[in-house]
């Protein structure tokens, strides 16, 4: 049975879909999966060894030039590629109008959330098979339940496994324990103060960790340089392709991150991960992993480096006690 997954974005949403893939592989040996995803996150989908063809969409880019000839040619090419896959089923795991339109291009039966369950109720108009899944569940569990209903099994929700492996690569010449500090995030109100990152980096060095920072835009570059300037032991990784960052991340000892996609990735890798949430509620979309934890700033309060390091110590001890 050939199944196409449509989950185009964002990075965290894509990562939240992997446990559902693992469920299906355990329960249905007859299924093979392909995936349709935004081009920026194709490297993330490629981390799962069971995913075959990865179809890239560029909705974000196409919207900027809706009447450009190149846009129309790319859209037509995607439609041909999806049709040539001859899928037995498409699962729209996103539940948005844009993802439903993409799913329709495959010319196969579509399974998705029903009108009361989808993030955008109008998306359900495109589905041939519609399933009710409570909206007050974590995104990972919602997706796992949807896959189970669509493919005919009951997922074991007591277990959680993403099935992804870091790509080849990593940092050379760095020995001992490393801590990746994921300071970059999409909104200003999600950003932990620079002085707190500096304070945390200093505490990590005192515990014989090598802090690692990187950046993807000029604002993040200034923060990364400030951390590395204040704590010289910090390794500053230049702006790099997502796969290269994932390779370094996946081989780190500890992750401390803001509310950003890479923090979700670290958690999915099963790494000790401290997530710092300042302005968003992690209840339904926060990182989930065997050694991950979220520190949520209280109303009018803050998360301190002392609290972060205490939680990091707890997770590292938990990881050291876990069976290999």
What 310-319 contacts at long range (C-beta under 8 Å, 24+ apart), as own/partner pairs, is: 311/274, 312/179, 312/254, 312/256, 312/272, 312/274, 315/254, 315/272, 315/273, 315/274, 315/291, 316/253, 316/254, 316/272, 318/272, 318/291, 319/272, 319/291
pLDDT tens readout for residues 189-233: 999 999 999 999 999 999 999 999 999 999 999 999 999 999 999
Asked if residue 324 has pLDDT above 70, the reply is no
Domain 2-151: CATH class, spelled out: alpha beta
Residue-level pLDDT at 281: 86
pLDDT tens readout for residues 107-139: 999 999 999 999 999 999 999 999 999 999 999
Secondary structure letter of residue 94 according to DSSP: S
Q: Computed over its alpha carbons, how large is the radius of gyration of the chain? A: 20
Average pLDDT over residues 304-312: 98
Alpha-carbon distance values, 112 to 7, 17, 46 (Å): 11, 14, 23
All CATH 3.40.50.2000 domain ranges in the chain, comma separated: 2-151, 177-321
Residue-level pLDDT at 279: 87
Average pLDDT over residues 25-41: 97
What 236-244 contacts at long range (C-beta under 8 Å, 24+ apart), as own/partner pairs, is: 237/171, 237/212, 237/213, 238/214, 239/214, 239/215, 240/214, 241/43, 242/40, 242/41, 242/43, 242/44, 243/43, 243/46, 243/167, 243/169, 244/167, 244/169
Asked if residue 289 has pLDDT above 70, the reply is yes
**In which band, very low, low, confident or very high, does the pLDDT at 323 lie, cut at 50, 70 and 90?**
confident
Domain 177-321: CATH class, spelled out: alpha beta
Kindly report the number of other CB atoms within 10 A of residue 258's CB atom: 22
Q: What is this structure's pTM?
A: 0.95
Residue 232 CA to residue 225 CA, distance in Å, equals 10
Average pLDDT over the chain reads 96
Phi, psi of 92 (to 5 degrees): -85, 100
> Which residue's entry shows tokens 């990091």?
312
Residue 253 CA to residue 178 CA, distance in Å, equals 5
Percent of the chain with pLDDT over 70: 100
């Amino acid at each position: 049975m050939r199944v196409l997954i449509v989950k185009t974005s964002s990075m965290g949403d894509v990562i939240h879909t992997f446990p559902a893939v693992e469920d299906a592989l355990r329960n249905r040996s007859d299924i093979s999966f392909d995936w349709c995803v935004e081009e920026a996150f194709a490297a993330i989908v490629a981390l799962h060894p069971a995913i075959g063809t990865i179809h890239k969409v560029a909705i974000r880019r196409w919207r900027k030039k809706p009447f450009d000839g190149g846009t129309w040619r790319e859209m037509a090419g995607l439609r041909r590629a999806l049709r040539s896959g001859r899928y037995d089923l498409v699962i729209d795991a996103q539940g948005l109008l844009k993802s439903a339109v993409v799913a329709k291009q495959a010319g196969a039966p579509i399974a998705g959330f029903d009108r009361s369950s989808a993030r955008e109720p109008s998306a359900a108009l495109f589905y041939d098979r519609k399933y009710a899944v409570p909206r007050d569940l974590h995104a990972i569990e919602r997706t796992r339940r949807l896959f189970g209903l669509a493919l005919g099994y009951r997922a074991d929700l007591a277990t959680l496994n993403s099935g992804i492996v870091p790509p080849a690569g990593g940092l050379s010449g760095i020995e001992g324990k490393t801590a990746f500090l994921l300071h970059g995030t999409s909104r200003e109100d999600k950003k932990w103060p620079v002085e707190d990152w500096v304070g945390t980096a200093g505490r990590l060095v005192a515990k014989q960790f090598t802090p690692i920072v990187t950046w993807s835009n000029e604002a993040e570059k200034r923060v990364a340089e400030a951390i590395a300037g204040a704590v010289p032991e910090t390794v500053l990784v230049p702006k790099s392709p997502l796969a290269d960052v994932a390779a370094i991340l996946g081989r780190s000892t500890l992750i401390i991150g803001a509310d950003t996609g890479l923090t979700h990735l670290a958690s999915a890798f099963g790494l000790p991960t401290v997530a710092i949430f300042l302005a968003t509620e992690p209840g339904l979309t926060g990182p989930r992993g065997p050694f991950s934890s979220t520190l949520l700033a209280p109303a009018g309060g803050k998360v301190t480096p002392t609290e972060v390091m205490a939680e990091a110590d707890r997770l590292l001890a938990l990881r050291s006690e876990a069976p290999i």
